[in-house]
Structure 1
Amino acid sequence: MARHRTFLTGTVLSGIALFALGLLWQGPYGARSQAQVQPPAPPTVVVARPLAREIVEWREFAGRFEPSAAVEVRARVTGHLQSIDFKDGEIVEAGRQLFAIDPRPYRATLDEARAQLASAAAQVELADLELRRAEQLIGSNAVSQATLDQRRQQKKAADAARALAEAAVSRAEIELGFTEVKAPFTGRVSNRRLDIGALVSDGAMLTTVVALDPVYFVFDISEQDLLAYQQAALAGALPAMHGRQIPVEARAQADKDWPHKGMIDFVDNRLEAGAGTIRARATLSNAGGLITPGQFGRVRLPFSASYEAMLIPESALLTDQADRVLLTVDPDNTVRTARIELGPRQPDGLRIVRGGLKPDDRVVVSGLLRARAGQKVTAQSADPEPRAAALGAAALGN
């Protein structure tokens, strides 16, 4: 009986010990196992609806600023260079004297021509008197008809000699005027090519002058862009390409915005066969002289009328092989993939969406790497303003 009681007591104590060990095992390790089997929380993404804005589509082209006029100033007479009346590189007004060639030989030639003109004029007067006298005497048969004919021919010869002398005076005056070399228009002059005292020959280049206001911007338009513009013009949304009514905006490489305004004044009559482009030229105001001919720059011109477009941050775009896609979030917070048709880029890091997106779609603009199609997410709304949405996406990262 005592042995039986001892066996029961040991059995009870062993059960109690095993139960205590089980409680100890479930304490630190059992809770951890239960935590591991709990599903993870959905990732958090930032979403925003497309921005609706009234815009005009612009397309940009690279080109070069060129002077609206440029000439090589050359001598038109031969002689010694007497003076240089400008400083290299300065702005000169139209008609200002730049060089003077020794005028003395040409002034002497002019004086000689004038003297010959005076002599020819005297011969005309004499021939006229003799002709009138012969015409009076022919009635009384005091002179013969042959003498009258001779006087008439002498008068014609004297008139021709006077005309020749007048032409010689005009030529001498022109050549004397060529000794003063003047600026043909207002612009910036280059450096002198010859020094005072040098013998200048007819046709020798002395300097160059370029006009600074207005300036031209010359650029090439691709065949694809030309066809797109012509289609919009045929639809009545834009003025004709050759109508000289297309407004443009230009900027130099250092400009942040588009400070230079102008109009397209020339489009070539054919495409370049090798490049598949057509040459165009815009006239821009340069009253401040900030543009130097020869600079590279960019120009933009409208390719659409004003319309309301859907815009998204460009940082929200993804690539799926040849397609551009967005991640959108359904009302039940499920991520979907939307294939879209894109338009041109816009300021503030935005992009036009032409199709594949609805105005009330919620687009993932941040947390793109944490989201997958078909996955549940926690969606947080972003600031609807375009700049805030774009900056928010860049700050939070993908």
Structure 2
Amino acid sequence: MAGVLMLGALTGCKRDAAGPGGAPPAVVPQVTVAKPIAQRLKDWDEFTGRLTARERVDIHSRVSGYITQVSFKEGTEVKAGDLLFTIDPRPYEAIVERAEAMLAQAKTAAELAGVEAKNATALRQGQAISVEEAERRLKSATGEQAGVRGAEAALRAAKLDLEFTQIRAPISGRISDARVTEGNLVTGGTQGATLLTTIVELDPIYCEIEADERSVLKYREMHKNGERTSAMFERIPAEMALINQEGWPHHGEVDFVDNQINPATGTIRARAVFPNADRLMAPGFFAKVRIPGSGEYDGLLIRDSAVGDDQGSSFVWILDAEDKAVYRPITLGPLLNGMRVVRSGLKAEDRVIVLGLMSVRNGAKVKPTPTDMQPAAAATK
């Protein structure tokens, strides 16, 4: 009888601890909260592009002849003025010597004609020769002087052709391979000349992009309203990354915008220039480029993981003064250094739930633990 009474007492105590009706006590979810980061922000618009050389020269021969020497190492850096190819100069040396002889002959004839013209003037004064003979000698002297100038021009042209037998680099840059090797005949001139090699300048390097018509109209409207300078009038900052790079490690400027929209694509061509001192970037690489898409404004940043999606609309959970969760719709901007820009819907003093979102219900009380909005790992980058 005593054991039955004791068991009944214990059962009654358990029921009292469980609460009315025997239901277990409510568990308050634990969450982590942080306040948004208030900053002066600037939006960026991203485009894709290709790297191109600032200068590219196809090396052709100006004169014809046989290659006697290739003076560069293929695929290396060359400087402007470096000797690249040598064409057999002997035929052109002979032409120079012949032109020199022709010039000497023309000068001798001109001197003789000058003496005769001088004598003709004196003889005419004494009426020893006719007027016709005097004029003939004067005209002959003038013609011989013209012959001297023609011979001098022929000599200069011959010396130029002789100089062109040494083909030198017109720019500094990285050279390709030799398309023609020693012993081969090359054709010179302005048409049909043999391609010998190619040189591209690598520092700085260009990145060409195509901006869509909607973006172009936005930028021009911003320039009109004084929000941002247009690249048509001044250089604007640009940042670039290759396909294997994170972030935007390369910093440069947009230095050119074309003068018309391509009606076939609805885009306009623009160009950004970037330093390439280590020469690791080469023409043809695919790249991502971003440029300022807005002027500076006061904005808020939160963790992207704190944002929820509700049928296409974005929202966050915030805490009220009683530590109850409140559903808050927001308008998002782009990602900026791993943080999400919030355009509207939040205040700087709001406490946003960043961890423990799955246990939150609207109006339910939670137990908050404060932290920094920007994670420590991101802050150290």
Scaled by the length of structure 2, the TM-score of the pair is: 0.89
**Corresponding residue to 1:297 among 268, 274, 287:** 287
Partners of 2:17 and 2:368 in 1: CA distance: 32
2:226 maps to 1:236? yes
2:74 maps to 1:88? yes
Does structure 2 conserve the Cα–Cα contact (< 8 Å) formed by 1:310 and 1:353?
yes
**Corresponding residue to 2:353 among 358, 364, 381:** 364
SS in 2 for 1:188: strand
For each residue in 1:69-115, what CA deviation from the matched residue of structure 2 results, as whole angstroms up to 9, or x when unmatched?
A: 01111111111100000111111110101000000001101111111
Partners of 1:390 and 1:361 in 2: CA distance: 22
Q: Which moved more, 1:269-278 or 1:180-189?
A: 269-278
Q: Which moved more, 1:322-331 or 1:229-238?
A: 229-238
Q: Which moved more, 1:289-298 or 1:74-83?
A: 289-298
What is residue 159 of structure 2 aligned with on the other side? Answer: 173
Does structure 1 conserve the Cα–Cα contact (< 8 Å) formed by 2:35 and 2:373?
no
Partners of 2:81 and 2:291 in 1: CA distance: 37
What is residue 376 of structure 1 aligned with on the other side? Answer: 364
Q: What is the aligned length?
A: 375
Does structure 1 conserve the Cα–Cα contact (< 8 Å) formed by 2:15 and 2:22?
no
2:294 maps to 1:308? no
> Structure 1 stretches of 5 or more lacking a match?
1-14, 392-398
Letter in structure 2 aligned against 1:126:
L
| CA pair 20-286 structure 1, distance change in 2 beyond 3 A | closer
What is residue 270 of structure 1 aligned with on the other side? Answer: 260
Does structure 2 conserve the Cα–Cα contact (< 8 Å) formed by 1:230 and 1:241?
no
Partners of 1:192 and 1:27 in 2: CA distance: 98
Q: Percent identical across equivalent pairs? A: 37
Q: Which moved more, 1:278-287 or 1:297-306?
A: 297-306
Q: Which moved more, 1:281-290 or 1:24-33?
A: 24-33
What is residue 128 of structure 2 aligned with on the other side? Answer: 142
What is residue 351 of structure 1 aligned with on the other side? Answer: 340
- Across the aligned residues of Structure 1 and Structure 2, the Cα RMSD in angstroms comes to 2.7
| CA pair 306-260 structure 1, distance change in 2 beyond 3 A | same
2:169 maps to 1:183? yes
Shift of 1:335: 2.6
What is residue 113 of structure 1 aligned with on the other side? Answer: 99
Partners of 1:162 and 1:267 in 2: CA distance: 52
Shift of 1:384: 2.4
Shift of 1:383: 1.5
Partners of 1:142 and 1:260 in 2: CA distance: 89
Q: Which moved more, 1:21-30 or 1:84-93?
A: 21-30
Shift of 1:172: 0.8
What is residue 200 of structure 1 aligned with on the other side? Answer: 186
SS in 1 for 2:208: strand
Task: Please state which structure has a larger fraction of its residues in helix.
Answer: 1
Does structure 2 conserve the Cα–Cα contact (< 8 Å) formed by 1:216 and 1:284?
yes
| CA pair 274-41 structure 1, distance change in 2 beyond 3 A | farther
Shift of 1:354: 1.1
Does structure 2 conserve the Cα–Cα contact (< 8 Å) formed by 1:232 and 1:303?
no
